[in-house]
Protein backbone atom coordinates (compact mmCIF):
# COMPACT_ATOMS: atom_id res chain seq x y z
CA UNK A 1 0.00 0.00 0.00
CA UNK A 2 1.31 3.47 -0.87
CA UNK A 3 1.89 6.10 1.86
CA UNK A 4 -1.05 8.09 0.49
CA UNK A 5 -3.30 5.05 0.69
CA UNK A 6 -2.35 4.46 4.31
CA UNK A 7 -3.26 8.03 5.26
CA UNK A 8 -6.97 7.66 4.67
CA UNK A 9 -7.92 9.26 8.00
CA UNK A 10 -8.16 11.81 9.33
CA UNK A 11 -9.39 14.02 6.50
CA UNK A 12 -7.69 17.39 6.10
CA UNK A 13 -9.33 20.40 7.76
CA UNK A 14 -12.29 21.81 5.86
CA UNK A 15 -11.65 25.28 4.42
CA UNK A 16 -14.23 27.88 5.37
CA UNK A 17 -15.37 28.08 1.74
CA UNK A 18 -16.50 24.44 1.85
CA UNK A 19 -18.40 24.86 5.09
CA UNK A 20 -20.18 27.92 3.72
CA UNK A 21 -21.03 26.43 0.32
CA UNK A 22 -24.72 26.67 -0.53
CA UNK A 23 -24.48 25.35 -4.10
CA UNK A 24 -21.91 23.73 -6.35
CA UNK A 25 -20.91 27.07 -7.87
CA UNK A 26 -19.54 28.05 -4.46
CA UNK A 27 -17.24 25.03 -4.55
CA UNK A 28 -16.22 25.95 -8.10
CA UNK A 29 -15.24 29.43 -6.93
CA UNK A 30 -13.18 27.98 -4.09
CA UNK A 31 -11.49 25.49 -6.43
CA UNK A 32 -10.61 28.21 -8.92
CA UNK A 33 -8.87 30.16 -6.15
CA UNK A 34 -7.02 27.07 -4.91
CA UNK A 35 -5.67 25.70 -8.19
CA UNK A 36 -2.93 26.87 -10.55
CA UNK A 37 -4.40 28.44 -13.68
CA UNK A 38 -3.34 25.63 -16.01
CA UNK A 39 -4.82 22.91 -13.77
CA UNK A 40 -8.09 24.85 -13.44
CA UNK A 41 -8.24 25.19 -17.22
CA UNK A 42 -7.55 21.46 -17.68
CA UNK A 43 -10.47 20.61 -15.39
CA UNK A 44 -12.88 23.27 -16.62
CA UNK A 45 -12.19 23.53 -20.32
CA UNK A 46 -13.87 21.93 -23.29
CA UNK A 47 -12.81 21.32 -26.86
CA UNK A 48 -12.80 23.80 -29.74
CA UNK A 49 -14.96 26.85 -29.12
CA UNK A 50 -16.48 25.11 -26.07
CA UNK A 51 -19.95 25.32 -27.60
CA UNK A 52 -20.75 21.74 -26.55
CA UNK A 53 -19.62 22.58 -23.03
CA UNK A 54 -21.98 25.57 -22.92
CA UNK A 55 -24.71 23.63 -24.71
CA UNK A 56 -24.92 21.04 -21.95
CA UNK A 57 -25.98 23.71 -19.47
CA UNK A 58 -28.25 25.50 -21.92
CA UNK A 59 -30.12 22.25 -22.61
CA UNK A 60 -30.79 21.63 -18.93
CA UNK A 61 -31.84 25.26 -18.47
CA UNK A 62 -34.41 24.97 -21.28
CA UNK A 63 -36.11 21.99 -19.65
CA UNK A 64 -38.90 22.74 -17.22
CA UNK A 65 -41.02 20.37 -15.16
CA UNK A 66 -44.79 20.69 -14.80
CA UNK A 67 -45.28 20.04 -11.06
CA UNK A 68 -48.07 17.99 -9.52
CA UNK A 69 -49.73 19.08 -6.27
CA UNK A 70 -51.25 17.24 -3.29
CA UNK A 71 -49.05 14.29 -4.18
CA UNK A 72 -47.38 13.51 -0.85
CA UNK A 73 -43.82 14.04 0.27
CA UNK A 74 -40.66 11.94 -0.18
CA UNK A 75 -40.01 9.69 2.80
CA UNK A 76 -36.43 9.71 4.09
CA UNK A 77 -33.37 8.48 2.20
CA UNK A 78 -34.16 6.76 -1.05
CA UNK A 79 -32.81 3.55 -2.56
CA UNK A 80 -31.95 3.77 -6.23
CA UNK A 81 -30.92 0.98 -8.60
CA UNK A 82 -27.71 1.83 -10.48
CA UNK A 83 -26.60 -1.03 -12.72
CA UNK A 84 -27.55 -3.66 -10.17
CA UNK A 85 -26.30 -1.69 -7.17
CA UNK A 86 -28.57 -0.13 -4.56
CA UNK A 87 -27.34 3.43 -4.09
CA UNK A 88 -28.46 6.08 -1.62
CA UNK A 89 -28.54 8.65 -4.42
CA UNK A 90 -29.28 8.24 -8.14
CA UNK A 91 -25.76 9.22 -9.08
CA UNK A 92 -22.19 7.99 -9.35
CA UNK A 93 -18.89 9.79 -9.61
CA UNK A 94 -17.60 9.77 -13.18
CA UNK A 95 -14.12 8.58 -14.16
CA UNK A 96 -11.67 11.47 -14.06
CA UNK A 97 -7.93 11.35 -14.59
CA UNK A 98 -4.98 12.49 -12.47
CA UNK A 99 -6.89 13.64 -9.39
CA UNK A 100 -3.71 14.13 -7.37
CA UNK A 101 -3.28 17.32 -9.42
CA UNK A 102 -6.06 18.76 -7.27
CA UNK A 103 -5.33 17.27 -3.85
CA UNK A 104 -2.49 15.13 -2.42
CA UNK A 105 -4.80 12.17 -1.78
CA UNK A 106 -6.55 12.51 -5.12
CA UNK A 107 -8.79 9.56 -5.95
CA UNK A 108 -8.53 8.22 -2.39
CA UNK A 109 -10.33 11.30 -1.08
CA UNK A 110 -12.97 11.25 -3.82
CA UNK A 111 -13.62 7.52 -3.45
CA UNK A 112 -13.78 7.85 0.33
CA UNK A 113 -16.48 10.49 0.06
CA UNK A 114 -18.41 8.36 -2.44
CA UNK A 115 -18.26 5.33 -0.15
CA UNK A 116 -19.51 7.38 2.81
CA UNK A 117 -22.36 8.77 0.69
CA UNK A 118 -23.35 5.32 -0.59
CA UNK A 119 -22.74 6.01 -4.29
CA UNK A 120 -20.42 4.33 -6.83
CA UNK A 121 -17.02 5.77 -7.66
CA UNK A 122 -15.49 5.14 -11.10
CA UNK A 123 -11.73 4.58 -11.22
CA UNK A 124 -10.18 6.02 -14.36
CA UNK A 125 -7.61 4.18 -16.47
CA UNK A 126 -5.57 7.36 -15.91
CA UNK A 127 -6.01 7.34 -12.13
CA UNK A 128 -3.15 8.77 -10.11
CA UNK A 129 -3.76 6.24 -7.31
CA UNK A 130 -3.53 2.45 -7.56
CA UNK A 131 -6.68 0.47 -8.28
CA UNK A 132 -6.10 -1.77 -5.26
CA UNK A 133 -5.63 1.14 -2.85
CA UNK A 134 -8.88 2.74 -4.00
CA UNK A 135 -10.95 -0.45 -3.80
CA UNK A 136 -9.54 -1.12 -0.30
CA UNK A 137 -11.64 1.81 0.91
CA UNK A 138 -14.82 -0.21 0.32
CA UNK A 139 -17.92 1.30 -1.17
CA UNK A 140 -18.95 0.51 -4.74
CA UNK A 141 -16.01 0.91 -7.13
CA UNK A 142 -16.43 0.73 -10.90
CA UNK A 143 -13.50 0.70 -13.32
CA UNK A 144 -13.29 2.77 -16.51
CA UNK A 145 -11.26 1.43 -19.41
CA UNK A 146 -9.67 3.29 -22.29
CA UNK A 147 -8.81 0.98 -25.18
CA UNK A 148 -5.01 0.96 -25.27
CA UNK A 149 -2.67 -0.07 -28.07
CA UNK A 150 -1.01 -2.44 -25.61
CA UNK A 151 -3.58 -5.26 -25.42
CA UNK A 152 -1.65 -7.00 -22.68
CA UNK A 153 -2.06 -3.89 -20.55
CA UNK A 154 -5.81 -3.80 -21.34
CA UNK A 155 -6.20 -7.40 -20.16
CA UNK A 156 -4.10 -6.71 -17.06
CA UNK A 157 -6.25 -3.71 -16.09
CA UNK A 158 -9.48 -5.68 -16.52
CA UNK A 159 -8.09 -8.55 -14.44
CA UNK A 160 -6.96 -6.18 -11.69
CA UNK A 161 -10.38 -4.52 -11.65
CA UNK A 162 -12.07 -7.90 -11.26
CA UNK A 163 -9.63 -9.18 -8.62
CA UNK A 164 -9.81 -6.03 -6.50
CA UNK A 165 -13.61 -6.04 -6.27
CA UNK A 166 -14.81 -3.55 -8.88
CA UNK A 167 -18.52 -4.01 -9.53
CA UNK A 168 -18.72 -2.91 -13.18
CA UNK A 169 -16.47 -2.24 -16.18
CA UNK A 170 -17.10 1.03 -18.03
CA UNK A 171 -15.56 1.36 -21.50
CA UNK A 172 -15.24 4.88 -22.91
CA UNK A 173 -16.07 4.76 -26.62
CA UNK A 174 -16.03 8.42 -27.72
CA UNK A 175 -12.26 9.02 -27.86
CA UNK A 176 -10.96 7.86 -31.26
CA UNK A 177 -8.67 10.83 -30.72
CA UNK A 178 -8.47 13.53 -28.09
CA UNK A 179 -10.62 16.61 -28.63
CA UNK A 180 -8.61 19.77 -29.39
CA UNK A 181 -8.66 21.56 -26.04
CA UNK A 182 -7.37 25.04 -26.74
CA UNK A 183 -6.90 26.06 -23.13
CA UNK A 184 -4.43 23.21 -22.61
CA UNK A 185 -2.60 24.02 -25.84
CA UNK A 186 -2.27 27.70 -24.92
CA UNK A 187 -1.01 26.72 -21.45
CA UNK A 188 1.53 24.16 -22.81
CA UNK A 189 -0.16 21.91 -20.29
CA UNK A 190 1.76 19.05 -18.66
CA UNK A 191 1.18 17.12 -15.45
CA UNK A 192 2.84 18.32 -12.26
CA UNK A 193 5.95 16.41 -11.24
CA UNK A 194 5.01 13.31 -9.26
CA UNK A 195 1.54 12.91 -10.79
CA UNK A 196 1.09 10.11 -13.31
CA UNK A 197 -1.19 7.31 -14.42
CA UNK A 198 0.20 4.86 -11.85
CA UNK A 199 -1.78 1.84 -13.05
CA UNK A 200 -0.04 1.85 -16.43
CA UNK A 201 3.45 0.64 -17.16
CA UNK A 202 6.17 3.26 -16.45
CA UNK A 203 6.86 3.83 -20.14
CA UNK A 204 3.17 4.41 -20.91
CA UNK A 205 2.54 6.52 -17.81
CA UNK A 206 5.53 8.83 -18.26
CA UNK A 207 4.39 10.87 -21.27
CA UNK A 208 2.16 13.62 -19.81
CA UNK A 209 5.06 15.23 -17.93
CA UNK A 210 7.00 15.98 -21.12
CA UNK A 211 6.09 19.62 -21.79
CA UNK A 212 6.14 20.82 -25.43
CA UNK A 213 5.55 24.41 -26.52
CA UNK A 214 2.19 24.99 -28.18
CA UNK A 215 0.81 21.57 -27.27
CA UNK A 216 -0.95 19.61 -24.55
CA UNK A 217 1.29 16.87 -23.23
CA UNK A 218 -1.78 14.92 -22.11
CA UNK A 219 -3.24 15.02 -25.63
CA UNK A 220 0.11 13.95 -27.11
CA UNK A 221 0.32 11.12 -24.61
CA UNK A 222 -3.18 9.77 -25.18
CA UNK A 223 -2.70 9.92 -28.95
CA UNK A 224 0.25 7.58 -28.62
CA UNK A 225 -1.26 5.29 -25.93
CA UNK A 226 -4.93 4.98 -26.99
CA UNK A 227 -6.02 2.70 -29.84
CA UNK A 228 -8.45 4.49 -32.21
CA UNK A 229 -9.46 1.22 -33.89
CA UNK A 230 -11.76 0.03 -31.08
CA UNK A 231 -14.66 -1.80 -32.75
CA UNK A 232 -17.95 -3.51 -31.95
CA UNK A 233 -16.15 -6.83 -32.39
CA UNK A 234 -13.61 -5.81 -29.73
CA UNK A 235 -16.45 -4.99 -27.37
CA UNK A 236 -18.14 -8.32 -28.05
CA UNK A 237 -14.93 -10.16 -27.21
CA UNK A 238 -14.49 -8.08 -24.06
CA UNK A 239 -18.08 -8.84 -23.08
CA UNK A 240 -17.28 -12.55 -23.28
CA UNK A 241 -13.98 -12.22 -21.42
CA UNK A 242 -15.06 -10.26 -18.34
CA UNK A 243 -17.42 -11.35 -15.59
CA UNK A 244 -18.23 -7.71 -14.78
CA UNK A 245 -21.34 -5.90 -16.05
CA UNK A 246 -20.30 -3.86 -19.09
CA UNK A 247 -21.15 -0.16 -19.36
CA UNK A 248 -20.46 1.86 -22.53
CA UNK A 249 -19.75 5.55 -21.96
CA UNK A 250 -20.13 8.14 -24.70
CA UNK A 251 -23.21 6.99 -26.65
CA UNK A 252 -25.46 9.68 -28.16
CA UNK A 253 -26.95 8.15 -31.33
CA UNK A 254 -30.01 5.88 -31.00
CA UNK A 255 -28.66 3.43 -33.60
CA UNK A 256 -25.49 2.97 -31.57
CA UNK A 257 -27.61 2.53 -28.46
CA UNK A 258 -29.69 -0.13 -30.18
CA UNK A 259 -26.59 -2.03 -31.28
CA UNK A 260 -25.07 -1.82 -27.79
CA UNK A 261 -28.26 -3.16 -26.23
CA UNK A 262 -28.18 -6.08 -28.70
CA UNK A 263 -24.60 -6.73 -27.59
CA UNK A 264 -25.85 -7.31 -24.05
CA UNK A 265 -24.34 -4.36 -22.21
CA UNK A 266 -25.69 -3.67 -18.76
CA UNK A 267 -25.88 0.09 -19.22
CA UNK A 268 -25.05 3.05 -21.44
CA UNK A 269 -23.81 6.44 -20.36
CA UNK A 270 -25.43 9.05 -22.60
CA UNK A 271 -22.56 11.51 -22.70
CA UNK A 272 -20.70 14.01 -24.85
CA UNK A 273 -17.69 13.74 -22.53
CA UNK A 274 -18.54 16.95 -20.72
CA UNK A 275 -18.02 18.95 -23.91
CA UNK A 276 -14.38 17.83 -24.06
CA UNK A 277 -14.52 15.77 -27.27
CA UNK A 278 -16.65 16.68 -30.35
CA UNK A 279 -17.47 20.38 -30.01
CA UNK A 280 -20.42 20.02 -32.40
CA UNK A 281 -22.09 17.25 -30.40
CA UNK A 282 -25.69 17.35 -29.21
CA UNK A 283 -26.18 17.98 -25.50
CA UNK A 284 -26.42 14.72 -23.58
CA UNK A 285 -29.82 15.48 -22.07
CA UNK A 286 -31.18 16.35 -25.53
CA UNK A 287 -29.98 12.96 -26.83
CA UNK A 288 -31.47 11.01 -23.93
CA UNK A 289 -35.11 10.60 -25.09
CA UNK A 290 -34.16 9.07 -28.47
CA UNK A 291 -31.61 6.74 -26.83
CA UNK A 292 -34.23 5.73 -24.26
CA UNK A 293 -36.70 4.86 -26.99
CA UNK A 294 -34.06 2.92 -28.95
CA UNK A 295 -33.03 0.64 -26.09
CA UNK A 296 -36.64 0.16 -24.94
CA UNK A 297 -35.67 -1.11 -21.50
CA UNK A 298 -33.03 -3.61 -22.68
CA UNK A 299 -30.30 -1.92 -20.65
CA UNK A 300 -30.03 0.79 -18.02
CA UNK A 301 -29.26 4.40 -18.94
CA UNK A 302 -27.03 6.84 -17.12
CA UNK A 303 -26.34 10.42 -18.16
CA UNK A 304 -23.46 12.80 -17.69
CA UNK A 305 -22.32 16.22 -18.95
CA UNK A 306 -23.67 19.41 -17.46
CA UNK A 307 -25.23 18.13 -14.21
CA UNK A 308 -24.89 20.95 -11.70
CA UNK A 309 -28.13 20.96 -9.68
CA UNK A 310 -30.57 18.58 -8.06
CA UNK A 311 -33.13 19.75 -10.60
CA UNK A 312 -30.82 18.47 -13.36
CA UNK A 313 -30.82 15.04 -11.74
CA UNK A 314 -34.61 15.15 -11.54
CA UNK A 315 -34.89 16.04 -15.23
CA UNK A 316 -32.56 13.23 -16.31
CA UNK A 317 -34.56 10.71 -14.26
CA UNK A 318 -37.83 11.99 -15.71
CA UNK A 319 -36.46 11.40 -19.22
CA UNK A 320 -35.58 7.78 -18.50
CA UNK A 321 -32.12 7.72 -16.92
CA UNK A 322 -31.52 5.47 -13.91
CA UNK A 323 -29.06 8.01 -12.60
CA UNK A 324 -26.37 10.52 -13.52
CA UNK A 325 -22.61 10.74 -13.33
CA UNK A 326 -21.02 13.86 -11.90
CA UNK A 327 -17.54 14.94 -12.92
CA UNK A 328 -16.36 18.51 -12.46
CA UNK A 329 -18.50 19.16 -9.33
CA UNK A 330 -16.67 16.34 -7.51
CA UNK A 331 -13.33 17.81 -8.58
CA UNK A 332 -14.37 21.24 -7.37
CA UNK A 333 -15.06 19.76 -3.96
CA UNK A 334 -11.77 17.85 -4.01
CA UNK A 335 -9.74 20.96 -4.81
CA UNK A 336 -11.62 23.08 -2.30
CA UNK A 337 -11.51 20.70 0.65
CA UNK A 338 -10.36 17.17 -0.09
CA UNK A 339 -12.66 14.36 0.99
CA UNK A 340 -14.88 16.73 2.96
CA UNK A 341 -15.23 18.96 -0.07
CA UNK A 342 -16.41 16.03 -2.20
CA UNK A 343 -18.78 15.01 0.58
CA UNK A 344 -20.18 18.54 0.55
CA UNK A 345 -20.74 18.39 -3.22
CA UNK A 346 -22.69 15.13 -2.87
CA UNK A 347 -24.64 16.47 0.11
CA UNK A 348 -25.67 19.59 -1.82
CA UNK A 349 -26.97 17.50 -4.72
CA UNK A 350 -28.79 15.21 -2.29
CA UNK A 351 -30.55 18.12 -0.59
CA UNK A 352 -31.40 19.80 -3.90
CA UNK A 353 -32.84 16.58 -5.33
CA UNK A 354 -35.00 16.03 -2.24
CA UNK A 355 -36.28 19.59 -2.53
CA UNK A 356 -36.92 19.20 -6.26
CA UNK A 357 -38.86 15.98 -5.73
CA UNK A 358 -40.99 17.52 -2.98
CA UNK A 359 -41.77 20.70 -4.91
CA UNK A 360 -42.51 18.90 -8.18
CA UNK A 361 -44.92 16.48 -6.49
CA UNK A 362 -42.75 13.36 -6.71
CA UNK A 363 -43.05 11.34 -3.52
CA UNK A 364 -40.95 8.43 -4.79
CA UNK A 365 -38.83 7.35 -7.80
CA UNK A 366 -41.84 6.01 -9.70
CA UNK A 367 -43.46 9.45 -9.56
CA UNK A 368 -40.29 10.99 -11.01
CA UNK A 369 -40.66 8.71 -14.05
CA UNK A 370 -44.13 10.16 -14.65
CA UNK A 371 -43.07 13.78 -14.28
CA UNK A 372 -43.92 15.86 -17.34
CA UNK A 373 -41.20 18.04 -18.86
CA UNK A 374 -41.48 20.76 -21.45
CA UNK A 375 -38.84 22.47 -23.57
CA UNK A 376 -39.32 26.11 -22.84
CA UNK A 377 -37.57 29.46 -22.99
CA UNK A 378 -33.91 29.34 -22.09
CA UNK A 379 -33.17 32.23 -19.76
CA UNK A 380 -29.44 32.36 -20.33
CA UNK A 381 -28.19 35.81 -21.46
CA UNK A 382 -27.15 34.78 -24.98
CA UNK A 383 -30.19 32.65 -25.85
CA UNK A 384 -33.15 34.13 -27.77
CA UNK A 385 -36.48 33.49 -26.00
CA UNK A 386 -38.84 30.89 -27.42
CA UNK A 387 -42.37 31.88 -28.28
CA UNK A 388 -44.04 28.81 -26.75
CA UNK A 389 -43.48 25.73 -24.65
CA UNK A 390 -42.86 22.42 -26.41
CA UNK A 391 -43.87 19.15 -24.68
CA UNK A 392 -41.26 16.41 -24.33
CA UNK A 393 -42.23 12.75 -24.30
CA UNK A 394 -41.83 10.95 -20.99
CA UNK A 395 -40.78 7.30 -20.61
CA UNK A 396 -43.82 6.54 -18.44
CA UNK A 397 -47.22 8.07 -19.15
CA UNK A 398 -49.37 9.30 -16.26
CA UNK A 399 -52.49 7.32 -15.52
CA UNK A 400 -55.19 8.19 -18.01
CA UNK A 401 -52.69 9.05 -20.76
CA UNK A 402 -50.62 12.11 -21.52
CA UNK A 403 -52.32 15.47 -21.59
CA UNK A 404 -52.09 17.48 -24.80
CA UNK A 405 -52.98 20.74 -23.06
CA UNK A 406 -50.34 23.43 -23.21
CA UNK A 407 -49.17 24.60 -19.77
CA UNK A 408 -50.61 27.92 -18.77
Annotated binding site: 95-97, 124, 144, 146, 172, 181, 249, 271, 273, 276, 304-308, 327-328
333 touches 297 (CB < 8 A): no
Q: Is 273 labeled as catalytic in the residue annotation? A: yes
369 touches 42 (CB < 8 A): no
Exactly one of 103, 155, 221, 273 is catalytic; which is it? 273
Q: How far apart are CA 144 and CA 161, in angstroms?
A: 9
Strands in 390-392's sheet, in edge-to-edge order, are: 63-66, 372-375, 390-392
Phi, psi dihedral angles at 145 (to 5 degrees): -120, 125
Question: Residues at the annotated binding site for FMN?
Answer: 95-97, 124, 144, 172, 249, 271, 304-308, 327-328
Question: Residues at the annotated binding site for glyoxylate?
Answer: 146, 181, 273, 276
Residues across the chain: 408
Q: What share of the chain is helix, strand, coil (3-state, %, to 5)?
A: 45, 15, 45
Give the CA dihedral 367, 369, 374, 377, nearest 10 degrees.
90
Eight-class DSSP state of 207: G
Taking the alpha carbons at both ends of the chain, their separation in whole angstroms is: 61
Q: Which residues participate in catalysis according to the annotation?
A: 273
Amino acid sequence: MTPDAAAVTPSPPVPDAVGRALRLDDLADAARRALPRDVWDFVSGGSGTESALAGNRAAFDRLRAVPRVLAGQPEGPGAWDLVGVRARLPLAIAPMAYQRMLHPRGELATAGAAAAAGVPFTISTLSSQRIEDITALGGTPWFQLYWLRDRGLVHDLVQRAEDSGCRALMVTVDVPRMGRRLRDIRNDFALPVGVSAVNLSPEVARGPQDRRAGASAVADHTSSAFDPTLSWDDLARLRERTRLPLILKGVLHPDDADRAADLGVAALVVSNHGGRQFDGAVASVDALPAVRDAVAGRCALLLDSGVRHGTDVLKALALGASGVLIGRPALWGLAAGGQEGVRTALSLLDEELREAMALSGCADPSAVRRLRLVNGPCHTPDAPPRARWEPISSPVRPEGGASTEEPR
